[in-house]
Amino acid sequence: AIQLTQSPSSLSASVGDRVTLTCRASQGINSALAWYQQKPGKAPKLLISDASSLESGVPSRFSGSGFGTDFTLTISSLQPEDFATYYCQQFNSYPQRELTFGGGTKVEIK
Amino acid sequence: QLQLQESGPGLVKPSETLSLSCNVSGGSISNSNYFWGWLRQPPGKGPECIGMIYYSGSTHYNPSLKSRVTISMDTSKNQFSLELSSVTAADTAVYYCASVYGGGYVDLWGQGTLVTVSS
């Protein structure tokens, strides 16, 4: 099974900071990667699909990039509502359809 | 607007079977663009996909849970269901039903339901 490793596991940042989160896959997954935001007590919310496609309604300060094994989620100017935990997720369909998530990065207020 | 709502017991005894249902409203589970999935999230941990079902009835299960999982659907009720057998404390988690676009991305989650395994 493909493993996803997120780094760092947590970070402290200030409002207005540029923040970059990393997700590394144990083998190449082309661009089959998504990013989710989760706030305490809530379900995750899809932010980005296909590594870089911003979902409708998601602020443009969020962006994703990468291909193969290395991916990043960037928040260009951190806002108070962005303090949350972020997960990456990959899917593959061979030899069997499978979705796996990374361990998450918690973004906290400095 | 598509909405998903989980229902089922919040407490299950060890060795018994966990059963949950998901009611889909605002759209049809026969939509060929979607798979319908069950995910769970233990306290303090990341999400885990349990499995998915397609409108054709084909199922895809997490290999680590495959021997204990059954996902089924009832198109007449626009619902799909999860059964997880022989549960232990390690199965305690928030369980979510979800729509999985193209079988790849979870674009809508239910609100989640906490299931505790305890005697």
Residue A97 neighbours by CB distance under 10 Å: 20
Q: Looking at residue A1, what is its pLDDT?
A: 85
Q: Looking at residue B59, what is its pLDDT?
A: 95
The average confidence (pLDDT) of chain A is 95
Q: Looking at residue A97, what is its pLDDT?
A: 82
Cα A3 from chain centroid (whole Å): 14
The average confidence (pLDDT) of chain B is 96
Q: Looking at residue A65, what is its pLDDT?
A: 98
Cα A9 from chain centroid (whole Å): 12
Low-confidence ranges of chain B (pLDDT < 70): none
Return the DSSP state at A80.
Answer: G
The tens digit of pLDDT for each residue in B86-112 reads: 999 999 999 999 999 988 999 999 999
Give the whole-angstrom CA distance, residue A7 versus residue A74.
13
Q: Residue type for B104, please?
A: G
Confidence band, pLDDT 50/70/90 cuts, at residue A19: very high
Q: Of A34, A45, A87, which has the smallest distance from its Cβ to B46's Cβ? A: A87
Q: Is A43 on the interface with B (CB under 8 A)?
A: yes
Asked if the Cβ–Cβ distance from B103 to A93 is below 8 Å, we say yes
Task: Give the minimum alpha-carbon distance from A15 to chain B in angstroms, rounded to a whole number.
Answer: 25
Residue A67 neighbours by CB distance under 10 Å: 14
Q: Of A36, A43, A103, which has the smallest distance from its Cβ to B110's Cβ? A: A43
Q: Looking at residue A62, what is its pLDDT?
A: 98
Q: Looking at residue A92, what is its pLDDT?
A: 81
Q: Of B46, B62, B111, which has the smallest distance from its Cβ to A103's Cβ? A: B46
Q: Is A1 on the interface with B (CB under 8 A)?
A: yes
Chain B residues with CB inside 8 Å of A87's CB? 46-47
The tens digit of pLDDT for each residue in A31-82 reads: 999 999 999 999 999 999 999 999 999 999 999 999 999 999 999 999 999 9
Q: Report how far apart, in Å, the C-alpha atoms of A92 and of each of A53, A95, B51, B99 are.
A: 18, 8, 13, 17
Q: Is B96 on the interface with A (CB under 8 A)?
A: yes
Q: Is B100 on the interface with A (CB under 8 A)?
A: yes
Give the whole-angstrom CA distance, residue B67 versus residue B32.
27
Q: Of the candidates B35, B48, B25, which has an alpha carbon nearest to the alpha carbon of residue B94?
A: B48
Buried (b) or exposed (e) across B86-119, using 16+ Cβ within 10 A?
Answer: ebeeebbbbbbbbbbbebbbbbbbbebbebebee
Q: Which residue of chain B is at minimal alpha-carbon distance from A104?
A: B46
Residue A93 has pLDDT above 80, yes or no: no
Q: Of the candidates A74, A68, A80, A63, which has an alpha carbon nearest to the alpha carbon of residue A22?
A: A74
